[in-house]
A and B are shown apart, each in its own frame.
Chain A
Amino acid sequence: MSEKKATRVGYGEELAALGFENDKIVALDADLSCSTMTQYFAKAHPDRFFNSGIAEANMITMAAGLSSMGYIPFCSTFAVFASRCFEQIRNGVCYPNLNVKIAFSHAGITVGEDGATHQAIEDIALMRVLPGMTILCPCDAEEAKRAVRAAAAINGPVYLRLARLATPVFSEGMPFEVGKANILRKGERAALITCGLMVESCMKAAEILAAKGIEVTVVNMHTIKPLDEEIVKTLAKDMKIFTVEEHSTIGGLGDAVAAVIAEHGGRLTKLGMPDCFGQSASPAELLDFYGLSPEKIAATVENGI
């Protein structure tokens, strides 16, 4: 297994690389380029990098203006500010269907010590409800690179959910087709449908369960919208589904899967943030506290099959 790397780093590296291939790519940031890793793009293409300062709303609608002039803007800041500039994303980007990419980092509770004000647990829900929005949530730095290219190839708004923490690579050799999930591990007893950073927790949970003779399927649902409904329908026929996400259980991946199961049948348990805000602690402590550590996931699955 290659070294651990955060999806935000994969994003930053690939965006800078893509900038050399396509001079229509521009990047915007709201004073967090050293964290969101748009700093790589800024260094490589200083004439096509625009800092909005700490003004997220203006960043999004400036990007709308840039896209209407033929550019492909990638906007970055922390995912928690998706709610701050939500109306700009709705009316400024999605309604006019502009080619703006919203690549927000530090999603979920694994921001850790900064606490609840900085832990985005609602961004997927917000983005899902917007017509025309594509939502990508890569599980590792390599997949983040593919996601950047996929996002650039889509003519329309895309939300890219990125994480702060470094993770191992799980997607090696896997295709990245928007709307088509990847099966990382196969088992008969249950299926864990997950995305982003939670892929690592789920893969470890699958190991724990396998040691107890419980083989589970792990699905990397890297595209949350449009959702790969076929894989949900197929798996739900044969086994119970567990969705695992670093997001509220309201409105996120779990609810997207729940909608498919409600219509086509199956059994589901949603794991995620249970309608509460996070708090300050180390990422590992938080994941365990909210039931998203490998051990807690394994226990929930074992008890819930």
Chain B
Amino acid sequence: MEIQALKSQCTVIRRDIVSMLTMAGSGHPGGSLSAVEILAALYGYKMNVDPTKPDMPERDRFVLSKGHAAPALYAVLANNGFFSKEEYNGLRKLGGMLQGHPDRNKCPGVDASTGSLGHGVSVAVGMALGAKTMGGKQHIYTLLGDGESQEGMVWEALMASAHYKLDNLTVIFDWNGLQIDGPNDEVMSLGDFPAKLRAFGLDLIEVMDGNDIEQVIAALDVPACPGKPRCILCHTTKGKGVSFMENQAGWHGKAPNKEQGAAALKELEG
């Protein structure tokens, strides 16, 4: 997809996120809105996927390790033709395809069931290991939150990714600086995070504005460093695109009510 079209699509995706969360009455807008450009660039530009064949073995894989950003993933999948937007109505509803956190057995295009923080990156490492073992060309992408990287098993997984020289793996961080209880650095300092990633043996690229899709694409297009897993640290804005949600930890896990939803959509008219 062309850059201009992707930029327009990002606005549509943000509108979809706000609409489906307003309908659902619960969910996670902040970290969904911060991840829009990353997900749109992956599915609309970078990854080898086919919405008509969501299970094709040779496809690239994506694991939403920060599974609570499910609305963003659902909106990106629907906008890329994996399923109808009518499914939005069933988000978080009994019998719905769109569970509160992504379910690989219910939703086409979802490669891994996630929601328990720290799991996804480890699943992605296993997928990359599998692709290497079979000599496959699949590239594996995973997206983590910054708060998520407080989980110990994130580091177990990163250690393994370097040990097994998984240059078919790209680990992306949606670095919006906030988690449920407040700023990361107040809740549990992550310290010199880039230095930690480098020390773990990852090939690190920093994206200064992860809500600028051109910067995200440029980072995704950097050729793999042979023998090293790639890490892309994207500095983003939590709640991006909705003024009253931006940089507010309170909008991590609270859905907008009808009035707030309407106000947000008005801002996102583009």
A interface residues with partner B (beta carbon < 8 Å): 26, 47-48, 50, 52-53, 55, 57-58, 61-71, 73, 87-88, 91-92, 95-97
Contact = CB atoms under 8 A, between A and B. Distances in A.
Given A53-B160, A58-B156, A58-B157, A68 B104 contact: yes
A82 B119 CA distance: 16
Given A55-B156, A57-B153, 15 more contacts: A58-B153, A58-B160, A61-B119, A62-B129, A65-B112, A65-B123, A66-B127, A66-B133, A68-B111, A68-B127, A69-B126, A69-B138, A87-B116, A92-B116, A96-B104
B5 interface: no
B125 interface: yes
Nearest to B128: A65
Contacts of A62: 122-123, 125-126, 129, 157, 160
Q: Which 3 A-B pairs have the closest CB atoms?
A: A65-B126, A69-B130, A58-B156
User: Which label, helix, strand, loop or mixed, suits the secondary structure of the B interface?
Assistant: helix
Given A58-B160, A92-B123, A71 B130 contact: yes
Residue from the set A61, A87, A88 with the largest chain B CB neighbour count within 10 Å = A61
A302 B124 CA distance: 56
Residue from the set B111, B123, B164 with the largest chain A CB neighbour count within 10 Å = B123
B52 interface: no
Interface in B110-143: 111-113, 115-116, 118-119, 122-131, 133-134, 136, 138
Residue from the set A50, A68, A69, A97 with the largest chain B CB neighbour count within 10 Å = A69
Interface in B87-129: 103-105, 111-113, 115-116, 118-119, 122-129
A133 B105 CA distance: 17
Given A52-B160, A55-B159, A68 B122 contact: no
Contacts of B113: 91, 95-96
B191 interface: no
B115 A48 contact: no
Nearest to B63: A65
Contacts of A52: 156, 160
Nearest to B120: A61
A58 B151 CA distance: 11
B57 interface: yes
A56 to B, nearest CB: 9
Contacts of B119: 61, 64, 88, 91-92
B156 A57 contact: yes
A65 B129 contact: yes
Contact of A69 (B131, B152, B160): B131
Contact of A61 (B57, B126, B130, B134): B126
Contacts of A95: 113
Contact of B153 (A50, A53, A61): A61
Contact of A57 (B122, B131, B134, B136): B122
A55 B154 CA distance: 11
A68 B124 CA distance: 10
Contacts of A57: 118, 122, 152-153, 156
Interface string B36-66: 0000000000000000000001000101000
30 contacts: A26-B133, A57-B118, A57-B153, A57-B156, A58-B153, A58-B156, A61-B157, A62-B122, A62-B123, A62-B129, A62-B160, A64-B122, A64-B123, A64-B126, A65-B122, A65-B123, A65-B124, A65-B127, A66-B126, A66-B129, A67-B126, A68-B111, A68-B123, A69-B138, A88-B122, A92-B116, A92-B119, A95-B113, A96-B105, A97-B105
Contact of B122 (A58, A67, A73, A96): A58
Residue from the set A52, A92, A97 with the largest chain B CB neighbour count within 10 Å = A92
B123 A50 contact: no
Contacts of B61: 68
A193 B258 CA distance: 60
A48 B133 contact: yes
A65 B160 contact: no
Contacts of A69: 126-127, 130-131, 134, 136, 138
A92 B113 CA distance: 7
A283 to B, nearest CB: 32
Contacts of A67: 126
Contacts of B115: 91
A274 B127 CA distance: 42
A182 B126 CA distance: 37
A57 B154 CA distance: 10
Nearest to A100: B126
A65 B160 CA distance: 13
B51 to A, nearest CB: 19
